[in-house]
């Protein structure tokens, strides 16, 4: 007799959905059954004079570049312009415990039985159950229905650690880099892998921001998406940069990062030639960045995310500044970000940041 | 009084078993060719290569039989793998039950191409029943006694450890081992899974232990490295071990299975992935394959529970060995893959009954985890044997003091390496 399936809490007052966009938000129509209970934070990139059309019935706040400049003042220079990296502004102004972020070309996917996937519900399940970064469970996430820890899994590690990040995947257009897109323009991801798993401690991964959720209280300040886009030498590495930073910090603080379900349906393949131009420097720089992140050691007294992040920014300047001057700017921007975060999110106080009300 | 088989009949049987050595059938008279074809079919050994041999003879009768039976070529997708010769693989089966008929029949389509090594649990009293039509070697207690002097050695091949004798005796490059209570499973499309072929694919495509690919094994069909995966790491490293999974009765320990007696694994996860470097995992021996040339000596019988039994949840010998193997692979920059293939594990045993046994050993394993997570080997250790020797020394020094079980495990490891070299020098 199977145990009654526990229902996943909605968390509708504890979770914000952050969406960066430069066009309209028609894609929300498809997500309506799953997203309508939640508050949306829309970060409008590009031309602020353009009006973004939001479908009726959604509760949202919208920020364009003018708003960002007004709220952050001189610190606004840490938020990217003309790149979806600007979404991290949404993380900063949110007052909720959890964030789910999704791209505006991502739609509801179907599982192999044909049922529509509630991606948000799966992310919540992932975030509300522990992670297991210290020992790999061969049957993947042991807290899911229908599975458990396997024989040989240390009993002392079966409680797990809190989950900070839930990284979802994509059916249809996979998240390939420009060279791979050029070589395999027709490849589509049709394989539905029915698993969630914890990325082990000490292992880095490429974090994609298209379908991502995290516990803002646990890791928010480290979710800075860097300096990309207009006026910057690099693009399409915003989420990668954030992913390496958060993984190092999660490993240090004993938090978990999960990857796998849920899937969304990624509909738009971006232009590989445009992407190549954006990624070009990143492809070379990451060969230096990876050894840097793999060998980063954070001192024991870095007990909060902000402290870890500030320490990281120092090391970025010291060790990566010589790779390119960009990293000096990035290190400074990391500091600016933390300062802005702390200003808008004073600890303990109930005071909120100046907020632009829903239009 | 039955007539003994004719020489011709015996010759045909032998040919069926040794098809991997036959490259030309044109010299064979037609009536014998037909009989050979029929027996090949009956033995379940007809594959593309052998079919082509028959067709190449050009003999009318054969071609018309093939046509009338409507035998069709299977379109096999071209995978980026090396061509595996049938004679590079050994399938090692530890026989803990005496009647292997249903097990072998279930696996016949997947096993029949390859050479098998069947090792009988020395504690098993009954005669082993094995169906015909396989190319196999059988090892029993008397064979073990010739190689290992049981009076002076603490190495035991009892129970699940009997398969290690098979590993010791094998000279093939790839070894695949499946518990004798497992049969082929079906994938999500309802098709029988060729676990042997999947293990071979895993072992012959690169592994990626230094950076996690979120779309799992990038060398699988229809997938690749994702954006952000460093290009310098995309050629991967050689795969040393392939660990498969289990549908139906998953490899749970006794407490878990006892708490959830009706829990059955029905989730087919369509992925293979590389377990990252420096990450430990429970390496189950139920459905496993490895590159014997690269890591052979690491698959050894070393750690036995005081009351180890004949059910998997009454053992941890494979868990100990698995942790050694992972340390060795990490040090030698080899990969360990986990995931597909699945096998169907049949119901056996009673978890609650097993729970009543002594649990000293399982508790001991908890001490062992920090050791394996932190053990580092020297630059001088460049082979699997070197690595095992160093791990054994560390085990003796660091764990051996707290419990004689560890000291004994270390001794077994050292002895195994000696045996390994000895057997190969003959």
Residues 326-365 of B with CB under 8 A from A: 338, 365
What does the block give as tokens for B194? 């060729």
Does pLDDT of A10 surpass 90? no
- What does the pLDDT read at residue B320? 93
Q: Is residue B22 very low, low, confident or very high in pLDDT (cuts 50, 70, 90)?
A: confident
Q: Identify the pLDDT of residue A6.
A: 58
Mean residue pLDDT across chain A: 92
Q: How far apart are CA B153 and CA B195, in angstroms?
A: 35
C-alpha–C-alpha distance, residues B301 and B308, integer Å: 13
All structural domains of chain B with their residue ranges: 7-68, 86-425
The CA distance from B250 to B263, in Å, is: 9
Determine, for residues B231 and A205 on separate chains, whether the beta-carbon distance falls below 8 Å: no
| The pLDDT value given to residue B106 | 95
Q: Report residue B28 as tokens.
A: 């064979």
- Strand ranges for chain A from DSSP E: 15-21, 39-44, 59-63, 98-102, 106-108, 163-172, 196-198, 211-215, 256-266
CATH number (domain holding residue A270): 3.90.550
Q: Per residue in B277-291, pLDDT tens? A: 999 999 999 999 999
- Which three-class secondary structure state does DSSP give residue B3? coil
* B289-B292-B296 Cα angle (round to 5): 100
Q: How far apart are CA A165 and CA A255, in angstroms?
A: 9
A328, part of any domain:
yes
* Chain A: residue whose CA lies nearest to B272: A193
- Indicate the pTM of the whole model: 0.86
Q: Residue B245's beta-bridge partner residues?
A: B342
Alpha carbon of B198 to those of B201, B294, B386: distances in Å?
5, 19, 30
Take residue B347 and report the two structure tokens written for it: 């119901």
- Nearest chain B residue to A181 by CA distance is B227
Q: Is B133 within 8 Å of B108 (Cβ atoms)? A: yes
Instruction: Using CA coordinates, name the residue in chain B closest to A171.
Output: B215
Q: Is A140 left (phi over 0), alpha (psi -120 to 50) or beta?
A: left
* pLDDT at residue B68 tops 90: no
Q: What is the pLDDT of residues A138-179, one digit of tens each?
A: 999 999 999 999 999 999 999 999 999 999 999 999 999 999
**The pLDDT of residue B313:** 78
- Average pLDDT (B148-156) is 84
Strand, helix or coil for residue A119: helix
Residues 74-113 of B with CB under 8 A from A: none
* Phi, psi at B390, each rounded to 5°: -70, -40
Question: Do A310 and A342 meet the contact criterion of CB atoms below 8 Å apart?
Answer: no
Confidence of residue B304 (pLDDT cuts 50, 70, 90): confident
Is the pLDDT score of A356 beyond 70? no
Task: Decide if B393 touches A, using CB distance below 8 A.
Answer: no
Provide the percentage of residues in chain B whose pLDDT is more than 70. 96
Residues 6+ apart with CB under 8 A from B43: B16, B108, B112, B133
**What per-residue confidence (pLDDT) applies to A105?**
93
What is the predicted ipTM? 0.92
The answer to whether B227 contacts A191, with C-beta atoms less than 8 Å apart, is: no
In a domain, A349, yes or no: no
User: Tokens for B270?
Assistant: 């369509």
As a whole number of angstroms, the distance between CA A346 and CA A64 comes to 23
Q: Among B268, B313, B369, whose Cβ lies nearest the Cβ of A151? A: B313
How far is the C-alpha of A19 from the C-alpha of B160, rounded, in Å? 55
Q: In which element (H, E) is residue A342 found?
A: helix A325-344
Whether A180 and B228 lie within 8 Å, measured CB to CB:
no
Nearest CA in chain A to B314: A151
Q: CB distance A136–B275 less than 8 Å?
A: yes
**A163-172 vs A256-266, strand pairing mode:** parallel
pLDDT tens sequence across A101-135: 999 999 999 999 999 999 999 999 999 999 999 99
Cβ-nearest to B215 among A177, A189, A200: A189
Residue of B345, B263, B348 lying closest to B309 (CA atoms): B348
Of B211, B243, B369, nearest to A138 by CB-CB distance is B243
CB atoms within 10 A of CB B89: 24
Distances (CA, A) of B29 to B45, B58, B60, B65: 21, 12, 12, 16
Q: Which tokens sit at A73?
A: 């003042």
- Residues whose CB is less than 8 angstroms from the CB of residue B115 and which lie 6 or more positions away in sequence, other chains included: B86, B87, B89, B90, B91, B135, B136, B137, B172
Q: B120: which 2 tokens?
A: 């009988």
pLDDT cut 70: percent of chain A above it: 95
Residues 6+ apart with CB under 8 A from A177: A236, A275, A279, A283, B225, B226, B227, B228, B229
Q: What count of Cα atoms within 13 Å lies in the side-chain half-sphere of residue A13?
A: 0
Query: Does the pLDDT of residue B333 top 90, yes or no?
Result: yes
As a whole number of angstroms, the distance between CA A253 and CA A298 comes to: 10
Shortest CB distance from A140 goes to which of B223, B229, B269? B269
Top-confidence range, A228-232, B194-198, B421-425:
B194-198
Domain extent at residue A271: 15-150+157-344
Which pLDDT score, from 0 to 100, does residue B358 have? 61
Instruction: Indicate if the pLDDT at residue B21 is higher than 80.
Output: no
- Examine residue A119 and state whether it is found in any structural domain, yes or no: yes
Report yes or no: A165 and A246 within 8 Å, Cβ to Cβ. Answer: yes
Fold of B86-425: Spore Coat Polysaccharide Biosynthesis Protein SpsA; Chain A (3.90.550)
Query: Cβ B276–A202 below 8 Å, yes or no?
Result: yes
If we measure between CA atoms, which residue out of B317, B285, B28, B37 comes closest to residue B180?
Answer: B285
**Closest chain A residue by Cα to residue B259:** A148
Going by C-beta distance under 8 Å and a sequence separation of 6 or more, which residues neighbour residue A202?
A251, B276, B278, B279
**Confidence (pLDDT) at B86:** 81
- To probe the interface with A, which of B226, B251, B324 has the most A CB atoms within 10 Å? B226
Residues of B within 8 A of A149 (CB-CB) are 252-253, 256
- Cβ-defined contact of B256 to A154 (cutoff 8 Å): no
The pLDDT-based confidence of A351 (bands split at 50, 70, 90) is very low
* CB proximity B224 to A under 8 Å: yes
Structure tokens at A334: 């990391």
| A251 three-class SS | helix
Q: Which of A176, A200, A202 sits opposite B227 (nearest CB)?
A: A176
Between B62 and A162, where is the model more confident? A162
Q: How many CB atoms lie within 10 A of CB B206?
A: 18
Q: Do B281 and A202 touch (CB under 8 A)?
A: no
Query: What mean pLDDT do residues B107-135 have?
Result: 94
Task: Spell out a b/e string for A220-251, using b for 16 or more CB atoms within 10 Å of the CB, else e.
Answer: bbbbbbbbbbeebebbbbbbbbbbbbbbbbbb
Any A CB within 8 A of B229 CB: yes
pLDDT cut 90: percent of chain A above it: 82
Residue A201: strand, helix, or coil: coil
The shortest C-alpha distance from A60 to chain B (Å) reads 31
Q: In this predicted model, which residue has the larger pLDDT, A5 or B9?
A: B9
B276, two tokens: 């990252």
- Determine the pLDDT at residue A3: 45
pLDDT (tens digit, 9 = 90+) per residue, A290-347? 999 999 999 999 999 999 999 999 999 999 999 999 999 999 999 999 999 999 999 7
Among the partner residues B225, B230, B322, nearest to A180 by beta-carbon distance? B225
Residue A107: inside a domain: yes
How far apart are alpha carbons A161 and A324 in whole angstroms? 37
B321 in contact with A, Cβ within 8 Å: no
Q: Is residue A355 part of a domain?
A: no
Q: Collect all residues of chain A within an 8 Å Cβ-Cβ radius of residue B263.
A: 146, 148
Mean pLDDT along residues B8-35:
86
Residue B361 pLDDT grade (very low, low, confident, very high; cuts 50, 70, 90) = low
The band of B14, judged by pLDDT with boundaries at 50, 70 and 90, is confident
pLDDT at B81 over 80: no
In a domain, A338, yes or no: yes
CB contact under 8 A, A279 and B227: yes
Spatial separation of the C-alpha atoms in residues B327 and B311, rounded to whole Å:
26
Q: How many CB pairs under 8 A join A and B?
A: 175
**Residue A10 covered by a domain:** no
CA atoms of A300 and B377, how far apart (whole Å): 27
Cβ–Cβ contacts within 10 Å for residue A295, how many?
10
**Amino acid A165: pLDDT:** 98
Asked if residue A355 has pLDDT above 70, the reply is: no
CB < 8 Å from A in window 285-314 of B: 312-313
Burial of B318 per CB tally in 10 Å (0-12, 13-18, 19+): buried
Cβ contact, residue pair B281, A138, below 8 Å: yes
User: A154 and B365 in contact by Cβ < 8 A?
Assistant: yes
Number of domains in chain A: 1
Q: Which residues of chain A lie closer than 8 angstroms to B376, CB-CB?
A: none
How confident is residue B353, by pLDDT bands cut at 50, 70 and 90?
confident
**What is the band of B351 on the pLDDT scale with cuts at 50, 70, 90?**
confident
Considering only CA atoms, which of B336, B34, B346 is closest in space to residue B203? B336
Cβ of A200 within 8 Å of Cβ of B276? The answer is yes
Give me the mean pLDDT over the B252-274 stretch.
92
CB contact (8 A) between residue A146 and residue B266: yes
For chain A, say whether B23 makes contact (Cβ under 8 Å). no
In chain A the first and final C-alpha atoms are separated, in Å, by: 51
A359 within a domain of the structure (yes/no): no
Which of B214, B230, B312 has the CB atom closest to A151's CB atom? B312
How far, in Å, are A219, B130, B180, B389 from residue B346 at the CA level?
44, 19, 9, 37
Which of B80, B228, B374 would best serve as a mutation to test chain A binding (most A beta carbons within 10 A)?
B228
**For the residues B44-49, what does the mean pLDDT come to?**
78
């Amino acid at each position: 007799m199977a145990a009654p399936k526990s229902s996943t809490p909605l968390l509708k007052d504890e979770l914000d959905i952050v969406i960066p966009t430069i066009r309209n938000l028609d894609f929300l129509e498809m997500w309506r059954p799953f997203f309508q209970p939640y508050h949306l934070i829309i970060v409008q990139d590009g031309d602020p004079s353009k009006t973004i059309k939001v479908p009726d019935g959604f509760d949202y706040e919208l920020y364009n570049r003018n708003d960002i400049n007004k709220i952050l003042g001189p610190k606004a220079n840490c938020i990217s312009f003309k790149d979806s990296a600007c979404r991290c502004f949404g993380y900063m102004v949110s007052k909720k415990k959890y964030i789910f972020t999704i791209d505006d070309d991502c739609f509801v996917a179907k599982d192999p039985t044909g049922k529509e996937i509630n991606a948000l519900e799966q992310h919540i399940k992932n975030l509300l159950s522990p992670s297991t970064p210290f020992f790999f469970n061969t049957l993947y996430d042991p807290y899911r229905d229908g599975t458990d820890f396997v024989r040989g899994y240390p009993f002392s590690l079966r409680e797990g650690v809190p989950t900070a990040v839930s990284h979802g995947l994509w059916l249809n257009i996979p998240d390939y880099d420009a060279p791979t897109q050029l070589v395999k323009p027709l490849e589509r991801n049709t394989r539905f892998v029915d698993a969630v798993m914890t990325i082990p401690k000490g292992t880095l991964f490429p974090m994609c921001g298209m379908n991502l959720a995290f516990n803002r209280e646990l890791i928010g300040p480290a979710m800075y998406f860097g300096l990309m886009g207009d006026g910057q030498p690099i693009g399409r590495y915003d989420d990668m940069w954030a992913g390496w930073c958060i993984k190092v910090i999660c490993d240090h603080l004993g938090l978990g990062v999960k990857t796998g379900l849920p899937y969304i349906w990624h509909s738009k393949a971006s232009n590989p030639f445009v992407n190549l131009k954006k990624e070009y420097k990143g492809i070379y720089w990451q060969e230096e960045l990876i050894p840097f992140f793999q060998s980063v050691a954070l001192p024991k007294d870095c007990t909060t995310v902000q402290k870890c992040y500030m320490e990281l920014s120092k090391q970025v300047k010291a060790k990566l500044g010589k790779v390119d001057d960009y990293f000096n700017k990035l290190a400074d921007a990391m500091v600016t970000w933390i300062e802005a975060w702390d200003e808008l999110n004073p600890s303990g106080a109930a005071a909120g940041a100046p907020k632009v009300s829903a239009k | 009084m039955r007539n003994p088989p004719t020489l011709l009949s015996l010759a045909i049987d032998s040919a069926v078993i040794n098809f991997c050595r036959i490259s030309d059938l044109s010299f064979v008279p037609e009536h014998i060719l037909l009989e050979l074809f029929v027996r090949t079919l009956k033995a379940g050994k007809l594959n593309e290569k052998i079919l082509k041999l028959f067709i190449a003879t050009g003999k009318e009768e054969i071609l018309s039989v093939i046509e009338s039976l409507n035998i069709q070529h299977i379109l096999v997708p071209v995978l980026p793998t090396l061509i595996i010769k049938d004679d590079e693989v050994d399938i090692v089966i530890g026989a803990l039950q005496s009647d292997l008929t249903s097990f072998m029949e279930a696996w016949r389509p997947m096993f029949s191409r390859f050479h098998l090594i069947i090792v009988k649990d020395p504690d098993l009293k009954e005669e082993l029943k094995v169906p015909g039509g396989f190319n196999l070697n059988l090892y029993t207690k008397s064979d073990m006694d010739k190689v290992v002097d049981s009076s002076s050695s603490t190495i035991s091949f009892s129970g699940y450890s009997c398969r290690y004798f098979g590993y010791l005796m094998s000279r093939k490059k790839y070894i695949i081992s499946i518990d004798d209570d497992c049969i082929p499973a079906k994938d999500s499309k309802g098709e029988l899974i060729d676990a042997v072929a999947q293990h071979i694919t895993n072992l012959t495509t690169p592994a990626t232990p230094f950076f996690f690919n979120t779309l799992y094994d990038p060398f699988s069909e229809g997938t690749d490295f994702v954006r952000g995966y460093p290009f310098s790491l995309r050629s991967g490293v050689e795969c040393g071990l392939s660990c498969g999974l289990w549908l139906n009765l998953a490899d749970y320990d006794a407490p878990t299975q006892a708490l959830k007696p009706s829990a059955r694994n029905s989730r087919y996860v369509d992925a293979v992935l590389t377990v990252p470097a420096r990450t430990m995992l429970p390496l189950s021996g139920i459905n496993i394959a490895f590159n014997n040339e690269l890591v052979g000596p690491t698959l050894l019988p070393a750690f036995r529970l005081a009351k180890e039994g004949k059910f998997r949840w009454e053992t941890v010998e494979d868990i100990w060995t698995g942790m050694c193997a992972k340390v060795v692979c990490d040090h030698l920059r080899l990969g360990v893959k986990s995931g597909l293939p699945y096998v169907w594990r049949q119901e056996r045993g009673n978890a609650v009954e097993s729970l009543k046994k002594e649990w000293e050993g399982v508790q001991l394993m908890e001490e062992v985890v920090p050791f394996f997570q932190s053990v580092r080997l020297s630059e001088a250790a460049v082979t699997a044997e070197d690595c095992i020797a160093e791990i054994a020394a560390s085990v003796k020094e660091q764990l051996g003091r707290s419990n004689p079980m560890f000291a004994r495990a270390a001794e077994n490891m050292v002895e195994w390496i000696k045996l390994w070299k000895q057997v190969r020098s003959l």
